Amino acid sequence: MRRNPAVWKRASGVVIRKPGKDNYTKLKAYRSISLCSSMGNVVEKGAAELLSEVAERRGLLGDGQFGSRKGWSAINAVAIMVDRAHAAWTNGHITGVLLMDIKAAFPSVAK
């Protein structure tokens, strides 16, 4: 059985206010964030990288999955979606694309 050093398991919890809430006396007006130790972050990043490589190699990700994939940028995603929309229109289908600004969804995060 493998054991991880205790320092890897340490984390600090931080509670921050959700913006725009009317009543900050209620628990749902806050969100908690877990801040892992530096070594824990290194291990987590390494594990995520390995899992990503295995998923790519085995073809486990669909062609619509763009996040966290090397060489697959937001520009590629937009180009593919526009191409698919044009193909659908050419074939007489109705289609739509929803583009979301994720950064705007979390305005409380420091820029």
Using CA atoms, how far apart are residues 86 and 93, in angstroms rounded to an integer?
Answer: 10
Using CA atoms, how far apart are residues 103 and 111, in angstroms rounded to an integer?
Answer: 9
Return the pLDDT at 103.
65
Return the pLDDT at 106.
63
Return the pLDDT at 32.
87
Return the pLDDT at 90.
92
Nearest CA among 4, 68, 63 for reference residue 37: 4
Q: What is the pTM of this model?
A: 0.41
CB 67 within 8 A of CB 52: no
Which of the two residues, 37 and 23, has the higher pLDDT score? 23
Structural tokens at position 46 = 């390494």
Question: How many CA atoms within 13 Å lie on the side-chain side of 79?
Answer: 6
Return the pLDDT at 63.
72
